């Protein structure tokens, strides 16, 4: 008997445990990424100003006439979409944690940032003067 058999039974146990969490106290959000819609256009980035922690899929649509991107310039979790062509949609999934995130489009070496493609979102809050964020 190889090591495969115990692994399979462990996997089966994990699957049963995962299935039972549907009606349990674990939030469904931990099982599937929460979708957040983002719109890119000339010249702006539109998304909710407040988000929640956990696995999140940014559904990023370029509704403009030029290529754009979605780049976390500052924040506790960094990720980027890469170039999104006009009319296209890209999905980027990240496990978000509380904090402040600065988002920009870095196309044209800052040219789009200067035109206003810069925004932010926050997760949770922090005491005045404190650098420690918490949620809720």
Interface with Cu ion (CB under 5 A): 68, 105, 107, 112, 117
Looking at the Cβ atoms of 45 and 123, the one nearer to Cu ion is 45
Q: How far is the CB of 90 from Cu ion (least distance, A)?
A: 13
Tell the burial category of 123 from Cβ atoms under 10 Å away from its Cβ (0-12, 13-18, 19+).
buried
C-alpha span between 86 and 7 (Å, rounded): 46
Q: How far is the CB of 40 from Cu ion (least distance, A)?
A: 6
Looking at the Cβ atoms of 7 and 37, the one nearer to Cu ion is 37
Q: How far is the CB of 124 from Cu ion (least distance, A)?
A: 28
Give the β-pairing of 54-62 and 89-96.
antiparallel
C-alpha span between 82 and 69 (Å, rounded): 6
């Amino acid at each position: 008997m190889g090591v495969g058999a115990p692994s399979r039974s462990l996997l089966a146990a994990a699957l049963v445990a995962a299935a039972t969490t549907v009606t349990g106290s674990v939030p469904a959000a931990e099982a599937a990424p929460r979708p957040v819609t983002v719109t890119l256009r000339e010249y702006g980035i539109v998304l909710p100003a407040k988000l929640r922690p956990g696995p999140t899929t940014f559904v990023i649509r370029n509704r403009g006439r030029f290529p754009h991107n979605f780049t976390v310039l500052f924040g506790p979790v960094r990720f980027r979409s890469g170039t999104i062509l006009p009319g296209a949609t890209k999905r980027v999934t990240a496990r978000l944690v509380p904090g402040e995130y600065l988002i920009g489009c870095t196309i044209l070496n800052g040219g789009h940032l200067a035109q206003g493609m810069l925004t932010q979102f926050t997760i949770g809050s922090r005491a005045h003067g404190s650098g420690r964020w918490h949620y809720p």
